[in-house]
Every structure is written in C-alpha cells, then in structure tokens.
Amino acid sequence: MGIALPDMHVLPKHPLIIGGKLLERGSGAVQPHIYPANGQVTADLHMASPADVDAAVAAARAAFPQWRALTGDKRRDLMFNLASLLEANVQQLAQLGVIEKGEPAMMAPHIPPIAAQKFRYFGGWADKIQGLTVSTWGGPAHDYVAYEPYGVIGAIIPWNGPLFAAAMVLAPALAAGNCVVLKAPDLAPYTVMRLGELFVEAGFPAGVVNVVTGGADAGEAMVAHPGIDKIQFVGSGATAKKVLRSAAETLKPCGLELGGKSAVIVFADADLMDAGKRGLTGGVSANGQGCVNGTRLLVERPVYDQYLQILGGMAAHIKAGDPNDPVTILGPVISDASAQRITGMVSAATSAGGRLIAGGERLGGDLASGYFLPLTIVADVAPDSVIARQEVFGPVLTVTPFDTEEEAIAIANGTDYGLGGYIHTRDLRRAHHVASALDAGMVQVNGSGEGMTPCVPFGGVKQSGFGRLGGEAGLKEFLRVKNVWVNLAKGAGQ
C-alpha cells in the first residue's frame, strides 16, 4: 500500500525572499522536491538563479548601513520577536521537517524550540558587544580596539538539519550587525523558506535577511560574489574545497563546519546500559545523517561482547517507518542515491570481515518506494577499513574493540575528521585525559549530544573545518577587529 504524502497545505510558498519581498518563484531552474518516505513529488520549486543572488546581495548591501547603525537593544528585541514566532509555529515547522527530509514526527517538534534558543541567546549578545582599551608605549596615546560587523554574510547550509543550521549561523551573524543572504538547501527547503517568512513577520528591516532557495549554481554565485564579505558554509568537505578555491579569487574569508567521523569510546567501567542507549543515538539522530553523530563505537575488550548484546537488543526496538507515525523512531535517508551508497558501504564492510549485529539491507514491503534503511550495526570492524574512516551519513554504526587507553585514542584520532568525540567512563581522571588527547572540536563525557547548547562553541579540526558557531567564540566569527590609536602628545594635530 505504501506511505501517503502528508498534508501539503502547510507548505510555504516563497522560495525567495529578497529585500523584504516574498517571491513565489525564482528565475532559475524548476526542481521537484521529493518526499523521501515514498519518492513522490511534494512541489515543483522555481529555484534561484545567479541573477536572483545578485538581487539578494544588492538588497543586503542596501540594508547594511541601517542595520549596523541600529542600537543593540533594538536588534535584540527583533531577534526575540523571531524566537517567539518560532515557538508559536512549532507545529507547522515540525510538519515541514517531516515533509522535507523525513524527520520522524516524534522528533521534529524539538527542532524549532532549539532554533528559538539560539536567537534568544545571541539576541542577548546584541547589546553587549564591547571593545577594549590598550595600554601602549612610545608616547602619550589612547589606543582602543573595536569589534565591527563584516557587512554581508553569505550563508550556505545543508539539507540534513536546515532549520537548526540556519539558526546556528544567522543568530550570531545578525546579533553582530551583519546582513545575510541565506541559501536554502534544494533537497530540504521548506523549514528555511518558512523561517524567511517569519523574519518578515517579526519586523526585520527589508534586506537584512534574504533567502534564495537554489542548487549549486546559486551557491557558486554567492561564494564568488564581490558584494559578499564572508561565507559561512555548513556541509561536506568535498564542496568546502570548491568553496575555498572560489573564495580565494576575492580573498573572501570563510567559516567551515563540515563532516565528521566521531568516535564513541566505551570503557569497561562505564554504565553499559546507558552507554548502549547513547551509542545508538549516532545511528538514529537525523536518521543517521548528522555530522557530529557518534558512528564509530570503540569498546574496551573485556566488555565488548556484552556491549554488542546490549546494542543488538536495543536495536531490535528501533522502528523504521512512516515519519508521520508517532511510534516511528527512524525515518528514511534523503534520496535513493544515498540509500544505494550506504548499502554498498555496508556490503563492502561485511565482505571485508565485518559482522552484522543488526540491519544491513534496504527495507521493502510498504516502505519499498521510500529510501528506508534499518538501523545497521557492523561489529569487528578494522580501524583502517573504509567504513571506519569515511563518513557514511546514514543509520550505520561500526564497532571495534580496543585494549588500552592509548589504543583507543589512536583509533579515535585515526581519521581525517575531528568534529566530535564521546567518552563513557566512571573514571574522572581518564575522562579528562582522553578528552585532552582527542583531536576533536567537541567532546562529551557520558553524553550523546545534549551538550550542544547555544552558549558553547561548536566546530571541528582537521577536515571537519575551522571556525566556531556558538558561544562568544561564535559571535566573534562574525566580527572584524579594528584598532584605533590616537596621539595625545602636546601639539598633536595642530
């Protein structure tokens, strides 16, 4: 019988918002959006063209002087207005999350309040951006440092968490006094389209936030555009390399938040039931399509078999199915091509000696027309294997035993990525030692992602990117430093 399309009446109608005008079509290609739960078209979207990007940049540049001059308390209040609208529209935004990328309905309502938190947190910074005075030498002088906005930020965000990523970038950029051109992802555009409408409803001045829904050509136009002062890119490493090459032509600074292959290290003294439950999070969160998901489970050998039994037992209760079904825990992956790539990686891993504990094959029956994979766990995975080193971006976990702290650290650090790390132990000394030794921008001890609040910096090292989003460090990513030295010597300026 298959899965029916959800209610399409909730879909926003404006793929472009430029200079405060809500536009129902761009001048680029028409692209259908596919509902990943059944492969059917939800709507044909008229995408943004490079000419639309030009218009959006012009609107942002025109709005920048007024927005920059607006006092911090007024920017704060507007951001609080937006946060309130996000909270008031949770139900619609949750429905859009289900439609655009198959987010399970039981999880989708949690995303808009998290986005609202980001705007409240950074809105609180808008009236607290302060410089400092510097003691100098070489004669009487007054020296001070000022923090100033860049101007226009080009924000390119991914399909796997569009509303979350948009809030993570826009909140600090706007608090710092920048205007923004935001590219909504073509594969999952709806929550960001609705977010753009909410900016208008919240009373933001025209042109401060502009939304262009588009594909690679729109993104390329943004990166190369001389009217954009900085690019904030959230996405894959392969695309990030193209972004950097293009940005180099105008020496445009870039912030990059990229992929990950985060290790979950389970020591023998851990609470294994809790570590098992949290270990499954990496395969379930965002349907396994999360950059910071813990997908490599490294388990101390004395408890390795016991932990695998716990994982297998828990995995049997992870229901994949219709995202609108309130008992569904795991939805589809984003596309048929993704499903095929993921199953291919799992097949290669088992052929190389990996042992299936759960899942492994694409789901059929009523789910056959969608892009559904079960939660898949592959044990006995060699640390140097492809599936242990490359990002799968699906509901797949690998499990590898280790014997010592040093070996666990070496395996965890043995990839090109360095975004997250998770440690499960009751030994506080060990927790601090291992956290210090991990090449990762974010480490959680006895956690599984709940520490990613707006007040803490988030970002990676190595090929997981550079720059930070979140906390004071995230605010300063969108501020330039200016030093001013004033000669106070007698007769100066006469």
Q: What are the tens digits of pLDDT across the range 141-155?
A: 999 999 999 999 999
Residue 491 has what pLDDT?
67
462 labelled catalytic? no
Domain 262-445: CATH architecture, name and number where available: 3-Layer(aba) Sandwich (3.40)
Annotated active-site residue in 101, 118, 183, 261: 183
Which of 213, 209, 210, 231 has its CA nearest to residue 81? 209
With tokens 């921008």, the residue in question is 441
Residue 127 CA to residue 325 CA, distance in Å, equals 44
Choosing among 3.40.50.720, 2.60.40.10, 3.40.50.1000, 3.40.605.10, the CATH entry for 8-258+460-481 is: 3.40.605.10
With tokens 């439950």, the residue in question is 277
Residue 266 has what pLDDT?
98
Residue 138 has what pLDDT?
81
**What secondary structure letter does DSSP report for 159?**
S
Q: Hey, which residues does 256 pair with through a beta bridge?
A: 233, 466
Say if residues 306 and 279 touch (Cβ distance below 8 Å). no
Buried b (16+ CB within 10 A) or exposed e, 447-456: ebbeebebee
407 labelled catalytic? no
pTM greater than 0.85: yes
Q: Is 334 helix (H, G, I), strand (E, B) or coil?
A: coil
Residue 15 has what pLDDT?
97
The parts of the chain modelled with pLDDT lower than 70 are 1, 491-494
User: pLDDT tens digits for 89-117?
Assistant: 999 999 999 999 999 999 999 999 999 99
319 labelled catalytic? no
User: pLDDT tens digits for 29-78?
Assistant: 999 999 999 999 999 999 999 999 999 999 999 999 999 999 999 999 99
Say if residues 15 and 25 touch (Cβ distance below 8 Å). yes
Annotated active-site residue in 101, 179, 261, 291: 291
Annotated active-site residue in 257, 300, 462, 477: 257
Residue 88 has what pLDDT?
98
Q: Cα 351 to the chain's mean position, in Å?
A: 33
Annotated active-site residue in 100, 103, 300, 391: 391
Residue 2 has what pLDDT?
84
Say if residues 243 and 253 touch (Cβ distance below 8 Å). no
Any idea where the domains of the chain sit in the sequence?
8-258+460-481, 262-445
